[in-house]
Amino acid sequence: MAAPERVSGRAAGDQQGQGSSLPSPPSISLPKGGGAVRGIGEKFAANPVTGTGAMTVPIATSTGRSGFGPQLALSYNSGAGNGPFGFGWSLALPSITRKTDKGLPQYHDADESDVYILSGVEDLVPVLRPDGTRFVDDTSAPGYVVHRYRPRTEGLFARIERWTQVVTGDMHWRSVSADNVTTLYGTDSRSRIERPADHQPSKESSRVFSWLICESFDDKGNAVVYEYAAENADNVDHSLASERNRLRKANRYLKRIKYGNRVSRLVQPDLSQATWLFEVVFDYDEGHYETVDPDPALPPAEQHQFARASASPAQPWAARPDPFSSHRASFEVRTYRRCRRVLMFHHIPDLPTGEDGYEGLVRSTEFDYADLDYSRPVSVDDELAHQGSTRIASFIRRVTQSGYVRDDNQPVVVRGGATYATYLKQSLPPLELEYSKAVVQDEVRDVEAEPPESPPVGSDGVYQWVDLHGEGIPGVLTELSGGWIYHRNRSPLPDEGTGDGTDSTAARFGPAELVATKPNLFLAGGHGWWISPVTATWTWRCWTAPCPVCTSMTTTRGGYPSAPSRPASTSTSATRTCGSWTSTAMGTPTY
């Protein structure tokens, strides 16, 4: 039987996939790079809501047994602050932290005074029994009381538990994922960010702010352990006035990740006695790595790159030029260190079949911060103009991934308690980064404009600076004839009068705009502007009894009519009450 000469559109669509009966448009497919023409796998994206830029750079690690192992990537967000990897960069690792967006933590764990956050993303809420009481398990684990939590918005489908020791009150966290992977957080002080013991009041329990991931294992016997280094005062200049009365022991830095256990955890549950095939080492300028000078006897065309590396540190870690502190935990968390590189080591012994194993460095991810040279006189203008890192902030300028092969012909060097082997090095093209600097106009200028564009002069309390439309710069808002009048701030916009589209440094405001009709509550004393947490729009609210009201702004620069706001409580001894209300996505008050 002869085969058909052509296939109909529906039959062809069925072969390509269901629902694809229409012909696909032509597209351009880029060739996949290999060898030296490929990058290190970085990805960039922009947040369409906030406008911030985001980027991820993978950290070179080896794949563990059955793919079980750390998946490390450095994440950048243009709206983030400083950290161990410089400004905007962070290493996303699971942790459980107390929420601080709406206030400092209280640390009254028995009363659930604080909200816990998993990996800095989702709030955790207590799990309740069918009768509405709190879920408490004091029988499954002798000596512990277990409280269960779940994310406020379910998506992990994991069992999250807080384990509290009955005798000491010590707490740690555990989670079991849908894939039956168990993760432990903060089982001891080495994996916790807490107020140091020598700064704890005698009558208070320890204040643990964050529980860091310390152990993870699956149901097949694979395991991963995480080790941390505690902050100290090494290489810190105590003579500086900025270093007086500092709390330096609270912070923790990820130091090692060990995985690929040779003996299954099902056979050897005590992971402290396990031996590991893979080890990831984070170098904070501790002498783990050093370059080897080229051989001057060889021509440049025949030169090779060599380096020495050790899994053990040879010297105390260096202090960064821009130490900083965070007080969101209600105590100081000081950061003196900066990660210089991440080293991937293999500890593979010789196989019983006679094949050689490998002991040593295989890959690295190095970060270049382009520090400003402070050995010469440096002015503030020099620091502001420098593209790299200064005493103001640290910035990653270059990320380089390299591969290594051990050179057994070179002697082993022992120095500072560390054993160095020599490796032949070859690197991928580096990822180079450049950051735009903010241009701040520090000159005070008068507004020179004729009515009706000219805003008022002086400050008498009637006029307010309010970013009414969320444009990133405040305008002038005033009350006039029972309504709100708003002048947009047009100073950063191109000056239409020049005709060449160049930026103008003159302070300019737009004409008066009627925003909305103001509620007739001239005698109200408790009122003001407030940003709605739901719509992120400016809302005017009045708390004065007997009729609290609110007015929400729209995205079209208009206002909704005022609506009454139901008081949350009433007190006969007070003349003012608090209006309690919630705005929907359209800004309409609901009750």
Query: CB count, 10 Å around CB of 301?
Result: 5
pLDDT of residue 148: 94
- Which of 219, 226, 146, 216 lies closest to 190 in space, CA to CA? 226
Residue 532 phi, psi (nearest 5): -70, 130
Quick check: is 22 in a domain?
no
Q: Looking at residue 480, what is its pLDDT?
A: 73
Distance CA 116, CA 100 (A): 9
Distance of CA 103 to the CA centre of its chain: 19
In a domain, residue 388? The reply is no
Confidence of residue 78 (pLDDT cuts 50, 70, 90): confident
Q: Are residues 135 and 284 in the same domain?
A: yes
Predicted local distance difference test score (pLDDT) of residue 39: 62
Say which amino acid occupies 379: S
pLDDT at 91: 93
**372, 378 Cβ separation under 8 angstroms:** yes
| Position 519 pLDDT exceeds 80 | no
Shared domain for 364 and 286, answered yes or no, is: yes
pLDDT for 438 beyond 80? no
- Residue in this structure with the two tokens 């796998």, named with its chain if needed: 41
The arrangement of strands across the sheet holding 89-91 comes to 43-46, 53-58, 73-77, 89-91
In this structure, is residue 5 part of a structural domain?
no
> Given this model, what pLDDT does residue 493 score?
65
Structural domain boundaries, residue 514:
443-518
Same domain, 239 and 104: yes
Q: What's the whole-model pTM score?
A: 0.74
Is residue 539 over pLDDT 90? Answer: no
- 564 with 469, same domain: the answer is no
Tally of structural domains, the chain: 3
- Other CB atoms within 10 Å distance of the CB of residue 195: 22
Residue 476 lies in a domain: yes
CA–CA distance from 274 to each of 219, 255, 329 (Å)?
17, 18, 35
Residue 134 carries which DSSP code?
A: B
Q: Is residue 512 part of a domain?
A: yes
Residues 500 and 528 in one domain: no
CA 462 to chain centre: 40
Mean pLDDT is lowest, of 172-176, 266-270, 407-411, 553-557, for: 553-557
Q: Are residues 131 and 163 in the same domain?
A: yes
- For residues 481 and 575, state if they share a domain: no
Residues 505 and 529 placed together within one structural domain of the fold: no
**pLDDT category of residue 186 using cuts at 50, 70 and 90:** very high
How far is residue 339's CA from residue 289's CA, in Å, rounded to a whole number?
Answer: 13
323 and 203 belong to one structural domain: yes
Task: Verify that 326 and 459 share a domain, yes or no.
Answer: no
The SS3 of residue 464 is: strand
Residue 88 has pLDDT above 60, yes or no: yes
Please indicate, yes or no, if residue 24 is contained in any of the structural domains: no
pLDDT value at residue 205:
62
CA distance 191 to 531: 38
- My answer on whether 111 and 242 are in the same domain is yes
The answer to whether position 386 is within a domain reads no
More confident residue, 60 or 559: 60
CB atoms within 10 A of CB 34: 7
Residues 350 and 474 both lie in one domain: no
Half-sphere exposure at residue 84, Cβ-oriented, CA atoms within 13 angstroms: 24
Find residue 464's DSSP bridge partners: 477
Task: Determine the average pLDDT of the residues in 277-300.
Answer: 91
> Is residue 171 domain-resident?
yes
